[in-house]
Structure 1
Amino acid sequence: MANGVLSHITQAKNPACLPHADDTDGDDHMYTADDFPALAPEPENIFQGDFFGTDYQGDELDWLEEGGRGRGQAGSEPTASDPEDSDSDASNYNSDDATPTAMGWEAPRQTTTAENDKVSNSEPAEREILEYNPVNRQRIETALHQGMHIQAFPDTTGAGSPVLEGNIPDSHPAGYGLYEAQIRKLCNNSHSRDYAPFLSKLEWEVARWAKLRGAGSTALADLLGINGIQQKLGLSFKNARELNKIIDSLPAERPKFKCEQIVVAGEAFDVYFRDVIECIRALYGESRFARHLVFLPERHYADADRTMRLYHDMHTGKWWWAVQKAVEANTPGATIIPIIISSDKTQVTLFSNKTAYPIYLTISNLPKDIRSKPSQRGQILLGYLPTSKLEHITNKAARRRTLANVFHACLGRILAPLCKPGVDGLPMTSGDGVTRRGHPIFAAFVGDYPEQILVTGVKSGQCPVYDVPHDELGDHCSLSHAFRDIDKVLDVLDTADESPTEFMRACADIGIKPIYEPFWRHLPYADIYLSITPNVLHQLFQGLVKHLVSWIKSAYDPVEIDARCRRLPLNHNVRLFFKGITSLSRLTGREHSDICRILLGLIINMRLPDNLHPGMLVCAVRAMLDFVYLAQYPIHSDETLASLHNALCRFHDNKDVFVTLGIRADFHFPKAHFPQHYRFLIENLGTTDNFNTEYTERLHIDFAKDAYRASNRKDEFPQMTLWLERKEKVLRHNQYIQWCEAGRPPLQIINPLHKLHTSHVKMTRYPSAKSCFI
């Protein structure tokens, strides 16, 4: 039997028909499926103290916090010799606990074997470590630029096929034609045809400036209050309130926010969120995205013999192919809509420590080039989670568990509508007017390490993917450990209604926190432990590179390092640190990326203390830099992934030099361990630029920081959501006006199979330099 692609694709308590293997030989080993039984609604529980209704005193939880170690020493905390290793402080993050709702679906159940990750009690096989070969690297990279050979998903069941084609006139392309018809209902003959409901182009440009670039409602009111300026500009609105009425009358492209209260531990929390299904419809049905949408998984190869697999977007990975087969076995003719959820708490003020907790959503039917650009609006703000710190709960253990349950309860309420459509499907109309039966399925979660342990429920200092003890995190290729078994986790979660003490002990035995109702529990075909994605920003640049730079500062004389920084010659695309790097603090990911470009040149031929040979240190640094740059490839092949693995092996084989120098005692921290999963996750979900948290950090500016500054800082979330809704309407109307000014061109659809074969050359319209000398 071939190796399985997904270790635990799950669907329901009665196992659904799932592929046990795939991706190289095409074997279709299936499990038989039963129907999904419905769950009766469960009564709402009100708790006091922590989620289990207990007000813990003294050291009643000491067994859980310190001595309660189950598999993988779940209760232990990391003991790092370097204070920078404390990546695991999740106590400042909200964790959830969901009040059970009548979703009508049993918990997912299914177990398969993860490809390339077999469980074995034997020691890892001896590795063949190859020396760095620039000629071989050049050959591998040249192969990535060759033409692709595409194997489409077999169309034997009508997967991805339309179920209904819209009858839309050419003069009224999908989306804009409907939008124009809605605009006409708001206007009369006195309005300009292209700029309605605004009287003229000037009025529209003033309104757009006021909402996208203006200084605020008060400043706009003062401007319009100047005697005679309204008449000179020919504006129909006299103040910001009248302008808001015009904007509120525009058709809404995306759903409105609503507020609900979630009760956890006897306390009510306000959650502002949108309907998740309508958000998916908005992204899927956007006219600008119609020609870019992908409806079926594909296998891409670099050669006609299909011996070298290529990976880039999610639809070229193994996860989508396996899930498509699983869904087709139950409901033929499905179109998978993979859901990517991102979350990250951010500070919206400089001094008062005010925070917001936005949740973002996007779909993998959109190419990563669109999802990664905020200007394309391929990400949508799904909601704001509560940011309460629950300081009235004095017991720290109870507070942390209540925060975790609050997070899961709120996010579970937001994502609850995905349960039934993920199995049965629902009609989804794309921007070209074609309707397919879409199955929105949770595919990936994007976040930094505190967010990862929060959503998976594992202990701080543990790997969110592998069930590996903390004191083995620094070891390379721990093949004796397996992916966390979601079936065992769900079996333990089913005992939550029993004794709270026994439930917490059972959770500690399998290495998770006592979360009553995780948000992913009822989501079909979802395995949260295989949904955690690589993170270039926080795991590599703000993780390994940050540690590597600090180790080098400890190994060498800081004065000599800074002197070498000043001696580096000027060069294009290389940032020089003329004041050195040893005194820098609070570096960003971009700055760590700039340091990577000069780091190896700084340490070449630099003497170590006690005349130790620097060969191992140079090899370790070079190997880590190789891994960092290889991990960022926008397209990977089997050979580049082998090089990625080889670079990691070379680092681990030379890392003991830092122990010899007394800089490190061990490497037992999660960010040193997680790169071992990069190869498997890239093969499964696509390359790392699909999930970089750098995109989330950029979205914070538009959806959290700017929105907060537009409020009056009192009861801010209703104002923030209203401000965002108006901004989205203005952006949508701006796209419509651009379409009108372009002559209302018909929508052009590009065959997705040929998109990758089209060559485009991007050139700067206004270059920063008129010429350069080489």
Structure 2
Amino acid sequence: MPRGRKRRLGAGRPELRCPWPGCPKRLKSQAGVTNHVNTAHRHSNSVAGLVPPPLSPSESPEPEDDYSGDLPPTPPRNSPEPEPELPRPQKNYHPFLNARPCDKDGVFLPDGAPPSPRTTSATDDWAPYDDKVQFELADFLFRKVQMSSKNIDQLLEMWALSMMKHDDLGPFHDYKDIYETIDATTVGDAPWKCLRTEPFNTAPDAPAWARQEYEIWYRDPDVVIANMLDNPDLDGAFDTTPYVHLDANGKRHWSDFMSANFAWRHCDQIYEEDPTTEGAMYTPIFFGSDKTTVSVATGDEYHPGYISLGNPHNNIRRAHRNTVMPFVFLAIPKSDRKYDNDPVFRKFKRQLYHASLAAVLSSLKSGMKKPVVRRCPDGHFRRVIYDFGPFIADYPEQVMLAGIVQNWCAKCTALSTHLDGNICGRRTHSLTDELLAAFSPDLLWDSYGIDVDIIPFTRDFPRADIHEMLSSDLLHQVIKGSFKDHLVTWVGEYLYLAHSKGEADAIMDEIDRRIAATPAFPCLRRFKQGRRFKQWTGDDSKALMKASLVPDEIVQAIAAFLDFCYLVRRADFYEDTLDSVDAAVRKFHAHREIFKVLGVRTDTPGGSTAFSLPRQHSMVHYRYGIEEFGAPGGVCSSITESRHITAVKKPWRRSSRYEALSQMLQTNQRLDKLAAARADFVERGMLPSTFVAPVAEPDDDDGGPTDSVRVEGNVVLARTRERRYPRYSFELAQHIHFPTFPTLLARFLTDQLNSDLYSNDGNDIDPAELSTTPLSVFHSAIATFYAPSDPSGIRGMRCERIRSTPSWRKHGARRDCAFAVEDQDKPGFRGMSVVRIKLFFSFTHDGVDYPCALVEWFKKVGRSPDIATGMWVVEPEYRGKNRL
């Protein structure tokens, strides 16, 4: 519902031209341009928000021939020169490892030389498939719908029967024919191999785990990386050279990995050690490793390792796009319960882990010392120098990787009893070597948290230091660890300390009711039973962060923590953003003391301080991690967690469950070949370039990442109107119990027409004039917008479905809330208001479509956010006794 009449635009010469090709409209303001595009070009494949910036004084639009207004005089030729161009952002690239193209023999090409053809195959050569239909069918059945072999045979049999009357055959004989054709694909081929270990102890009385041989299945990482580099699908989203990005004010900007310090520093080191590497392309290798359970009932679990590159942009890596590949399945030694805490068994598991990684990665060692020639996404060959980049792992895996003692930090030497103390330095291999030479193993264990029995696999590779490689982990360290395991748990413990059990239960029930009463909002997960559920997922943890009856000091601690979370989830960082991250950490550290004051957390006499928690301690390393690796979202374990679904869990479900690993490996290999074949066919122009980012299955279709073109924002009504509503304004007003609807509709159209500078008569439209105008009602609309810091597509785009329906899943009406931008010049929520959608509808007037929403307004309480929560408070807005 509109708050009031819009200010009418007076007559005057329009300044801005409609950006739509061929449209002659001129408008006075950017708001007028946006309104015009949203209405006049709504159904012309338009995308609202795709509007150029206002013209500068030196870019005045050409006058139209039929414009009758007064034109300003033509400026004299001796008019002053335009003001000098403002500073622009710039990227300073590494001067030595600058990725010069070369031929396949490593000889540098002249500047501007085109790449050699990637393939000599003809544009109609679908080998090993006979034609497009064969490939698309194989891809559809095996990758998209994952049809079982039995169902494939049935489908192909029916297909063959239907073709018999034409004396023809179906595209394939049976499922074996499909699988054999996929297996015959040569692009993207990286076969799996098996590495078997010798028994640790062959004595008859040795435990079973010691007498057993272990299998490590792996793919040659050099082959996997070569396939990644040779993927034309990455062209345009692939950095070949490290750079320092400065904004227009000369301030540093961090985003993708190659914009950060790690890449630049290692390039300096590579060149200083070997000047013959000049002109090479720096190729940092990412690693990720994490156990995953595929069946809680049977306890089946696997330990996959993933490999990626730092050259693709973060959004590409998060969308996988064949840039996060499983390359190893590590062995998981099992034993009887009596060996769970056996130091010998624990040492064996760690040593097997590191020895396995060192063995399967050994093929990369030569490429880390001298450049190797590889083809890149743009088709050029380059001399590539490998380097170990970030290792993505949760805290237990970091403990194993770094060879440290539990509860110590893998990045610094802070005491495990006082992790957030100021006296500490960074862990390095060289520091460990000095300590090993100076102190006994017992002292190193107790005072430095070093396990001398573990030799990290990185010791075998040039420039590799596991302590330097370990990245921050948003999902496990911050969201699941610090928020769910710490703050949420502490709040519950406080309630039962401060109140009787009955009172605490009542407060917890009230918290549950408040969580359950959260207003509907697109992509906001709602918990109908509050927080009483058994299994926490990453999405659950994130969702509960957005939704407790506790002292203000606790609320302030949680608010400071949430500030930190939302800051570090950004896709781009500037120096002032990093200062804000540090400030949020300091604020959180100050406010969390309330848990100590209230007795929830206590110092252990002669032991640990109340807040000496490794996951929470990781927050102090985030600024340094961003400066080293770029945005944390590009090195988060959510990337490997989501890859578990496609690389481990779904292949396991497709297997026979008996000795499933070999079947899972074969499924992964076929999926890789299908993806590589599609990229090859797209590059040769045989298939259109389309891609849908893999996302977890949502609870509903409220939206998610989208690969649509970059726009600032666009809202589109649902495709199909609802047919149970009256078509005309007065009847519809009675149906929805909103008697002022016809008046509001007339007022809206009046404002719209008066904002069009070709209609300046200023006459108000009478509601009766629209009484016979057909209206179409919809139950939802889709908002598409640029949000690179949220889960988004490869262009940073995200879509959310906004619903307004009288019945939703048999639980009454659902009326979503949304943000309405009222002043684009004001930052953040200061320029927005909250509305609840009562009705989506559209109508046509004089050939122009008008998509509309009937809304209820909420107004801000006060002029600033709430002191305790740091969030704005809103309340329903009224005019007299009437709801606005």
TM-score when scaled to structure 2?
0.61
Aligned-pair distance for 1:649? 0.7
What residue number does 1:206 align with?
Answer: 137
Secondary structure of the equivalent of 1:291? coil
What residue number does 1:177 align with?
Answer: 119
Q: Which residue of the other structure, out of 667, 673, 682, is the alignment partner of 2:617?
A: 673
Closer, same or farther: CA 339–738 of 1 in aligned 2, 3 Å: closer
Aligned-pair distance for 1:310? 1.3
Tell whether the 8 Å contact from 2:90 to 2:248 is kept in structure 1 after alignment. no
User: CA separation in 2, counterparts of 1:356 and 1:336?
Assistant: 32
Note the residue ranges of structure 2 that are not aligned, 5 or more in a row: 1-85, 202-211, 496-506, 603-609, 690-708, 719-781, 783-800, 804-839, 841-852, 856-884
Closer, same or farther: CA 215–221 of 1 in aligned 2, 3 Å: same
Q: Which residue of the other structure, out of 429, 440, 444, is the alignment partner of 1:486?
A: 429
User: CA separation in 2, counterparts of 1:554 and 1:280?
Assistant: 49
Q: Which residue of the other structure, out of 545, 553, 561, is the alignment partner of 2:511?
A: 561
- Is 2:635 the counterpart of 1:691? yes
Q: Which residue of the other structure, out of 515, 520, 533, is the alignment partner of 2:471?
A: 533
Output aligned runs, 1:601-750, within 5 Å: 603=548, 606=549, 608=550, 614-665=551-602, 666-739=610-683
Secondary structure of the equivalent of 2:101? coil
Which is richer in strand?
2
User: CA separation in 2, counterparts of 1:234 and 1:632?
Assistant: 54
Aligned-pair distance for 1:421? 1.7
Aligned-pair distance for 1:201? 4.2
Give a deviation string over 1:243-292, Cα, whole Å, max 9, x none: 22222222131411111213362443211111111111111121111332
Give a deviation string over 1:471-495, Cα, whole Å, max 9, x none: 102x3xx331111231143467899
Tell whether the 8 Å contact from 2:256 to 2:631 is kept in structure 1 after alignment. yes
Tell whether the 8 Å contact from 1:707 to 1:724 is kept in structure 2 after alignment. yes
User: CA separation in 2, counterparts of 1:743 and 1:205?
Assistant: 10
What residue number does 2:192 align with?
Answer: 257
Closer, same or farther: CA 312–400 of 1 in aligned 2, 3 Å: same
Aligned-pair distance for 1:662? 2.4
User: CA separation in 2, counterparts of 1:685 and 1:656?
Assistant: 31
Give the residue type in structure 2 aligned to 1:667: F
Secondary structure of the equivalent of 1:646? helix
Aligned-pair distance for 1:554? 3.5
Give the residue type in structure 1 aligned to 2:462: P
Tell whether the 8 Å contact from 2:373 to 2:384 is kept in structure 1 after alignment. yes
What residue number does 1:451 align with?
Answer: 397
What residue number does 2:535 align with?
Answer: 586
What residue number does 1:542 align with?
Answer: 480
What residue number does 1:241 align with?
Answer: 176
- Is 2:288 the counterpart of 1:288? no
User: CA separation in 2, counterparts of 1:262 and 1:461?
Assistant: 31
Q: Which residue of the other structure, out of 152, 159, 170, is the alignment partner of 1:220?
A: 152
Note the residue ranges of structure 1 that are not aligned, 5 or more in a row: 1-145, 185-192, 496-500, 609-613, 746-757
Aligned-pair distance for 1:761? 5.1
Closer, same or farther: CA 644–431 of 1 in aligned 2, 3 Å: closer
User: CA separation in 1, counterparts of 2:171 and 2:219?
Assistant: 32
Closer, same or farther: CA 507–441 of 1 in aligned 2, 3 Å: farther
Tell whether the 8 Å contact from 2:428 to 2:468 is kept in structure 1 after alignment. no
Greater Rg by CA: 2
Give the residue type in structure 2 aligned to 1:593: K
Secondary structure of the equivalent of 2:214? strand
Tell whether the 8 Å contact from 1:348 to 1:355 is kept in structure 2 after alignment. yes
Tell whether the 8 Å contact from 1:148 to 1:300 is kept in structure 2 after alignment. no
Closer, same or farther: CA 392–633 of 1 in aligned 2, 3 Å: closer
Aligned-pair distance for 1:353? 0.7
TM-score when scaled to structure 1?
0.69
Secondary structure of the equivalent of 1:459? coil
Aligned-pair distance for 1:560? 2.4
Q: Which residue of the other structure, out of 143, 153, 162, is the alignment partner of 2:93?
A: 153
Tell whether the 8 Å contact from 2:483 to 2:541 is kept in structure 1 after alignment. yes
User: CA separation in 2, counterparts of 1:313 and 1:716?
Assistant: 37
Tell whether the 8 Å contact from 2:416 to 2:612 is kept in structure 1 after alignment. yes
Output aligned runs, 1:264-663, within 5 Å: 265-266=200-201, 267-304=212-249, 306=250, 308-332=251-275, 333=278, 334-374=280-320, 376-391=321-336, 394=339, 396-473=342-419, 475=420, 478-490=421-433, 510-546=448-484, 547-556=486-495, 557-581=507-531, 583-598=532-547, 603=548, 606=549, 608=550, 614-663=551-600
Aligned-pair distance for 1:194? 5.4
Secondary structure of the equivalent of 1:597? coil
Tell whether the 8 Å contact from 1:415 to 1:519 is kept in structure 2 after alignment. no
User: CA separation in 1, counterparts of 2:592 and 2:456?
Assistant: 38
User: CA separation in 2, counterparts of 1:312 and 1:358?
Assistant: 28
Secondary structure of the equivalent of 2:283? strand
User: CA separation in 1, counterparts of 2:257 and 2:148?
Assistant: 40
Aligned-pair distance for 1:567? 4.6
Tell whether the 8 Å contact from 2:441 to 2:451 is kept in structure 1 after alignment. no
Tell whether the 8 Å contact from 1:272 to 1:383 is kept in structure 2 after alignment. yes
User: CA separation in 1, counterparts of 2:159 and 2:546?
Assistant: 58
How many residue pairs match? The answer is 579
Closer, same or farther: CA 509–419 of 1 in aligned 2, 3 Å: farther
User: CA separation in 1, counterparts of 2:527 and 2:676?
Assistant: 43
Secondary structure of the equivalent of 1:616? helix
User: CA separation in 2, counterparts of 1:471 and 1:392?
Assistant: 29
Aligned-pair distance for 1:507? 6.0
Tell whether the 8 Å contact from 1:339 to 1:361 is kept in structure 2 after alignment. yes
Closer, same or farther: CA 209–571 of 1 in aligned 2, 3 Å: closer
Give a deviation string over 1:573-613, Cα, whole Å, max 9, x none: 544434322x2332222122122222xxxx4xx4x5xxxxx
Q: Which residue of the other structure, out of 162, 171, 176, is the alignment partner of 2:101?
A: 162
Tell whether the 8 Å contact from 1:176 to 1:287 is kept in structure 2 after alignment. no
Closer, same or farther: CA 744–346 of 1 in aligned 2, 3 Å: closer
Aligned-pair distance for 1:325? 0.9
Secondary structure of the equivalent of 1:701? helix
